[in-house]
Amino acid sequence: MTTRGQTQQFDKALFKASVEKHLVTTYAKTPETADSRSWYLAVGKALAEISTGSLLETEKQLAEQNVRSVNYLSLEFLIGRLTGNNLISMGLYEEVSAAVEELGLNLTDLLEEERDPALGNGGLGRLAACFMDSLAAQEYPAVGYGLHYEYGLFSQSFEGGHQVEAPDAWRGIEGYPWEVVRPELGQTVGLFGSVETYTDKAGTICRRWVPAMTVEGVAWDLPIVGYDNKSVYPLRLWECRSPAPFNLARFNDGDYVGAQYGQLEAGNVTKVLYPNDNHDQGKTLRLMQQYFHCACSIADILRRHFAAGNKIEDLAKLESIQLNDTHPTIAIPELMRILIDEHKLGWDAAWAISSKVFAYTNHTLLPEALERWSESLIADMLPRHMEIIFEINHRFMTLVEEKWPGNNEIKRKLSIIEEGQQRMVRMANLCVVSTYAVNGVAALHSELVKRDLFPEFNELFPGRLHNVTNGVTPRRWLKFCNPGLTELVNEKIGTEWPAKLDQLSGLAKFAEDKKFQKRYLAVKKDNKQRFADWVQDNMGIELDTNAIFDVQIKRLHEYKRQHLNLLHILSLYHRLLNEPTFDMHPRVFIFAAKAAPGYALAKDIIFAINKVADKVNNDPRLGGKLKVVFVPDYRVSLAEIIIPAADVSEQISTAGLEASGTGNMKLALNGALTIGTMDGANVEIREEVGDENIFIFGLLVDEVLKQKEEGHDPYRYYHADSLLRASLDLLNTDEFTPGNPGQLSAIRQNLLDGGDPYLVLADFADYVKAHEKIDAEYRDQATWARKTILNTALVGKFSSDRSIRDYVNNIWKLKAVSVK
């Protein structure tokens, strides 16, 4: 264990006293009456006391040195449990484990008491959390700005195979021990009202916003503890304390979010996270959340700037603001408004600052995910901002006219304002026009952003479009979640790799080493057992750890094609029962996924997988060769058990649609072999691990586009491929829903008569072939061992430390500051 960082100051006796003090004074329990949860809370509070001190000290030193920093604005930070991870970063894991043992407690059990803060939907929110971890680990000055939702992503259970959502009160009754409220940082945020013209003392005619109402923002800080150093950065989450305007509930009739609000006046703006994945719902309250988040964050950035003694003119020199997707785009007109209306800068001076402060990350090409807000909604809620957006667009259109004189088609295409029945504001266009850097999240995705999404912007603003391939933090996604592999790796290459993941390549030379192979496979087996025990305890399903654990864990979405996986399972079921010569190594198909509450087909797919699971898990004719497990309530802490146990990683999106993926990286790092399409970061994973150590199948991006253009005919595949036909037709029987045929036919219907929008049928045959290859290669354990070891060894590139260095060098231009 590390000896730098906070370790030196640790005093076991003092720490135990602090835990006991918090148990009594903060949680009103005696050591005799305390249950495991109270002890966890007290330990968390005692640790938070240490990290809060470091947070304040970091804040102080950075302000004194007045260094450039990045502000990461995101509506989502899917941080997962903090206690275990912060212990690792603080270098206190063993010490605290020993201390709590003296109190008669077991640290591993205590850590299980922590509820996951689920303040995000999936990859985009988890990426923000990994990035904060890597910023702190490398001491690049940063503040994360998000929202303090009362309810995080809904918790999921199954009733009769159907998804049921329940609110997620992640803070519990006692509050979350790691957070600290900062009343002195409170903000007041205006809404609605009108814009008035007035003449100032100098005789200038000015515009200003007169809001009709205000709400209060309260800051909560969570500590982002730097790995093996003394820096602790704030993740600052804004809570709205005032009730939302009561007529808002109207806009949310009958839906999941509406239900969380209950009585009209009960809800405040930050009550609940919107549970959508790659889908824009356009709800009024969501815009209000976005503006509330931006207004509080921009005001806080300016507060820090002025508190350090700086002038407004120097803002772009000292601050960069990264917009995580278009969700915080309204920060741009908000800063312009403050610069012009409050600091009295002229348009050009204000634009010179603003356009050098903001940078934007695009996370998706899916058209249904690109945010557009109706002009009338923005004009109503934020009238001054709408004026500013019009002015930005007006000036931009002049630029377009200069470049392409008289070309109205290009103007219509690029305009921030989309004309139509109801005029809409295109937030992505606003971002590209108003930022100094735009990036995609994997090489392929960034190319497609340039080629297909913003080709003319690339001509207009050469050099503005970048790539930064995503990454994951090796602290959580290897060192913390996989202690067995960590120990083995430490023994072979030393202990520096969690901060220098490229060093994993030092394992490659052991890939053929029989002894090492055996130990590596033994670790995998232990991890499979740990997960199998979890499944036995929580779901009552028995798993054989000799089977191939084949894992697809991610949000449920048609483009991610969980239904392609399902069709393959149905094909195996069919062959086991109908092909006397068919043989396969035992397989466990493991799914975990939440569906957006309003996404009917996604819920149908969950139901179908659950029904198929019920049948195959109990069908003696299959000889235990086929098991299907749909683990409920997918969340970060579950991923931490599933990923180390995976043999196969399913990354099977339609090519061109998964911007990057990050689960693919975590799984490869933990030694799962990828079966995947040439999509997102799969392309770069293949580059790193080599074509022999990954199973690539399916249409390429341009083949997908061509096939769509020419008109994809699902029935052509259906008639030509008898295995596909048999698999699809099973969905029309009552094989899995005894007595109720047709309960699963919506999926078949969508694929055949719905036109198969994600080309599932086009990739089916190649997918089946790739799985046959996996089956054959797994049976040869030496081959498999070599491949799985090489996956761990060769994915060092996908550390989020490298992603952050890419941002720092190419976009943010920060210098690391070591806190003393």
The contact set with ligand GL9 (CB under 6 A) reads: 121-125, 127, 277-278, 363-364, 369, 441, 470, 555, 658-662, 680
* Longest Cα separation, the chain: 92
Min dist. Cβ of residue 657 to ligand GL9 (A)? 8
**124 or 294: whose CB is closer to ligand GL9?**
124
Angle at the Cα of 244 (from 239 to 247), degrees rounded to 5?
A: 160
The answer to whether residues 791 and 646 touch, using CB atoms and an 8 Å cutoff, is no
**119 or 616: whose CB is closer to ligand GL9?**
119
Please tell me whether residue 27 adopts helix, strand or coil conformation: coil
Min dist. Cβ of residue 442 to ligand GL9 (A)? 7
Backbone CA torsion sign across 472, 476, 481, 487: positive
Chain-centre distance of CA 109, in angstroms?
Answer: 27
The answer to whether residues 325 and 124 touch, using CB atoms and an 8 Å cutoff, is yes
Q: Which residue is nearest to ligand GL9 (CB)?
A: 123
Q: Which residue has the tokens 């804004």?
A: 238
DSSP strand pairing (319-324 vs 358-361) = parallel
Per-residue CA distances from 15 to 31, 49, 86, 231, 513 (Å):
15, 10, 16, 20, 44
**118 or 609: whose CB is closer to ligand GL9?**
118
> Which residues lie across from 674 on neighbouring strands?
649
Report which of 635, 608, 617 is spatially closest to residue 543, judged by C-alpha positions: 617
Angle at the Cα of 704 (from 700 to 706), degrees rounded to 5?
A: 115
Task: Please count the CA atoms within 13 angstroms of the CA of 398 that sit on its side-chain side.
Answer: 5
- What count of other Cβ atoms lies within 10 Å of the Cβ of residue 480? 22
Q: At a CB cut-off of 8 Å and minimum separation 6, what does 784 contact?
A: 673, 777, 778
Please give the helix or strand (H or E) that residue 129 lies within, else none.
helix 123-138
The answer to whether residues 167 and 257 touch, using CB atoms and an 8 Å cutoff, is no
Q: Which amino acid is at 79?
A: I
**647 or 658: whose CB is closer to ligand GL9?**
658
Burial (Cβ within 10 Å: 0-12, 13-18, ≥19) of residue 719: exposed
Per-residue tokens: 790: 């090489």
Tell me the residue ranges of DSSP E strands in 421-464. Answer: 424-426, 437-440
**635 or 786: whose CB is closer to ligand GL9?**
635
DSSP strand pairing (69-73 vs 372-374) = unpaired
The answer to whether residues 145 and 297 touch, using CB atoms and an 8 Å cutoff, is yes
Q: At a CB cut-off of 8 Å and minimum separation 6, what does 619 contact?
A: none
Min dist. Cβ of residue 435 to ligand GL9 (A)? 17
Q: At a CB cut-off of 8 Å and minimum separation 6, what does 699 contact?
A: 654, 655, 677, 707, 759, 762, 763
The answer to whether residues 488 and 789 touch, using CB atoms and an 8 Å cutoff, is no
DSSP strand pairing (152-159 vs 180-191) = unpaired
Per-residue tokens: 375: 């002009």
Radius of gyration of the chain (CA): 27
Task: Please count the CA atoms within 13 angstroms of the CA of 755 that sit on its side-chain side.
Answer: 7
Min dist. Cβ of residue 633 to ligand GL9 (A)? 15
**279 or 317: whose CB is closer to ligand GL9?**
279
Min dist. Cβ of residue 482 to ligand GL9 (A)? 21
Report which of 792, 515, 506 is spatially closest to residue 673, judged by C-alpha positions: 792
Report which of 755, 753, 766 is spatially closest to residue 675, judged by C-alpha positions: 766
**327 or 384: whose CB is closer to ligand GL9?**
327
Cα first-last separation, the chain: 21
**99 or 431: whose CB is closer to ligand GL9?**
431
Report which of 671, 627, 669, 665 is spatially closest to residue 532, judged by C-alpha positions: 627
Per-residue CA distances from 284 to 154, 178, 268, 296, 417 (Å):
20, 32, 13, 18, 18
Q: Which amino acid is at 164?
A: V
Min dist. Cβ of residue 247 to ligand GL9 (A)? 29
Min dist. Cβ of residue 172 to ligand GL9 (A)? 24
**361 or 415: whose CB is closer to ligand GL9?**
361
Q: Give the catalytic positions in this structure.
A: 363, 554-555, 560, 662, 666
Helix, strand, coil fractions of the chain, as percent rounded to 5: 50, 15, 30
Backbone CA torsion sign across 734, 736, 738, 741: negative
DSSP state of 452: I
CA–CA distance, 722 with 809 (Å, rounded to integer): 54
Min dist. Cβ of residue 335 to ligand GL9 (A)? 24
